[in-house]
Structure 1
Amino acid sequence: MLSTDYKALIIGSGGAIGNAFFDAFQKDLFCLHVETISRSDPRFEKDRFDLSVPSSIVKHAAISKAGGPYQIIVDATGALHIDGIGPEKSLAGLQYDHLMRTFQTNTIGPALVLQQFAPLLAAGPCIYAKLSARVGSITDNRKGGWYGYRSSKAAMNMILQTAALELQRKNPEAMIVALQPGTVRSRLSNPFSAHVDNLLEPEESVSGMLTALKMLTPKKGAHFIDYQGQEIPW
């Protein structure tokens, strides 16, 4: 994959990782065209892309259709700190409204994005990649905590796996991928980056993820891999 001419679409290109994906595609001689969507896009100042507004997702998918079909779509949306509140460390820290917002941002919104943008994938070999997180792995959960973020990512992983099985009935060469980018220097990681041993620059993370994507081969269901191409247990 991505070793012949292709078109790319990045959803959430305003973030550190999304912007690094844009730069990487721009520099790739095989990339014929890269389309971007972000909340900060000045082209849509009066109708910004909003994960919490289904009609916004539908509208931006319709706009993006003109640039497709796409051999790769990357959804780089998501958030750890929402409305100024970080991940819960214990059951006592759970709050109904915050849990709802976490799932809205990391699961429900991206699920509707997948619904609207997956039809823009090209026939034949193609990739729909969604940024996930290692903490979304149920098997890999050894420390606990981060209830809402862990659960919202695990739920999104299930949506990706389920969608992969459906989409592959029509296109067996379609690959749906949950991507773990590592801990990347960004607004998301800033509150705890001082305690991270291997803090990655966005360009380093994206370079690794693109290399991993190029090495993938179709299989039944979704892939769940990290930026080094290593498989992560669901």
Structure 2
Amino acid sequence: MEQHPNTALVIGAGGGIGSAAAEALAKRYRQVIAVSRQPSAPPALAGRDNVQWLACAAEETAITDAAAEVAGASAELPLARVVIATGTLHGEGYRPEKSLRELSAGTLGHLYQVNAVLPLLWLAALEPALRRSEAAAVAVLSARVGSIGDNHLGGWYGYRASKAALNMLLRSAAVELGRRAPNVALLAFHPGTTDTPLSKPFQARVRADRLFSPAWVADALLARMDAARADGELHFVDYAGEPIPW
């Protein structure tokens, strides 16, 4: 496959979907910048000459500095694809809530910070570089459970709310980018249940044909990015390209 003479950027490249997306993009683009909190690249990426690994803390100043480095590295090979594959669902001391009694202000704040605030800080920091692109697509990992209209089961308060907040922030960003960077398409992407550590505790009830590999999801994500239009709208779509209600 002939490589596009542009740059692809993956933020959250140490995770399952992020790593798979970086691998897929490395086959298509001349330069891939892979960003992660992890200090070094996984073996699948470490051996690729066109992949630059960039360690970055999940902090505003670090994001600003890393975005400046990305802008410099992509000065001659403009950004064409940006994947923001960060997020959290459970961790030490917290898990998806099943009832109001389980709500914690600390957990809600943490989920909002990781799932909504950090992706938007990245988008804001990258906006000057995106304006230089003749055609670019930016995809941020969202989730169907962030749809207010699709919520018929309840529960998972913090995760649902943080993804709904992400969608609203991205929708406002899409309006602004439509004016300031009209060649940029913006997507909120639902990957489905992917076989990664994030979904591992919740896979028991998932049908085998609905548990997707990271590589399969990465291919679906790139297909959705290829098809996206730069029209000043936020496209909230799933892995099959079907729109999801707000």
Q: Name the CA distance, whole Å, in 2 between partners of 1:97 and 1:216.
A: 36
Which residue number corresponds to residue 46 of structure 2? none
Residues 1:25 and 2:31 aligned together: no
Indicate which of 47, 50, 61 corresponds to 1:55. Answer: 61
CA shift at 1:104, angstroms?
A: 1.0
CA shift digits 1:99-121 (9 cap, x unpaired):
11111111112221111123222
Which residue identity is paired with 1:40? Q
Q: Name the CA distance, whole Å, in 2 between partners of 1:5 and 1:230.
A: 30
Which residue number corresponds to residue 206 of structure 1? 218
CA shift at 1:164, angstroms?
A: 0.8
Structure 1: 5+ residue stretches without partners: none
CA shift digits 1:121-178 (9 cap, x unpaired):
2433211110000001111111111000000000011111101100110232211110
SS in 1 for 2:243: coil
SS in 1 for 2:63: helix
8 Å Cα contact 1:133-1:180 kept in structure 2? yes
TM-score where L is the length of structure 2 = 0.87
Which residue number corresponds to residue 39 of structure 1? 37
CA shift at 1:42, angstroms?
A: 3.2
SS in 2 for 1:130: strand
Q: Name the CA distance, whole Å, in 2 between partners of 1:171 and 1:105.
A: 25
Which residue number corresponds to residue 184 of structure 2? 174
8 Å Cα contact 1:125-1:173 kept in structure 2? yes
Which residue identity is paired with 1:189? S
- Name the % identity: 40
8 Å Cα contact 1:48-1:56 kept in structure 2? no
Q: 1:108 to 1:184 in 2, by over 3 A?
A: same
Q: Name the CA distance, whole Å, in 1 between partners of 2:21 and 2:144.
A: 20
SS in 1 for 2:203: helix
Q: Name the CA distance, whole Å, in 2 between partners of 1:82 and 1:127.
A: 31
8 Å Cα contact 1:206-1:227 kept in structure 2? no
CA shift at 1:56, angstroms?
A: 1.2
> Deviation above 4 Å: which 4+ runs of structure 1?
none
Q: 1:209 to 1:220 in 2, by over 3 A?
A: same
Q: 1:233 to 1:5 in 2, by over 3 A?
A: farther
CA shift at 1:90, angstroms?
A: 1.1
Which residue identity is paired with 1:102? L
Which residue number corresponds to residue 144 of structure 1? 154
Report the count of equivalent residues.
Answer: 227
CA shift at 1:230, angstroms?
A: 0.9
Q: Name the CA distance, whole Å, in 2 between partners of 1:61 and 1:143.
A: 39
Q: Name the CA distance, whole Å, in 2 between partners of 1:110 and 1:27.
A: 25
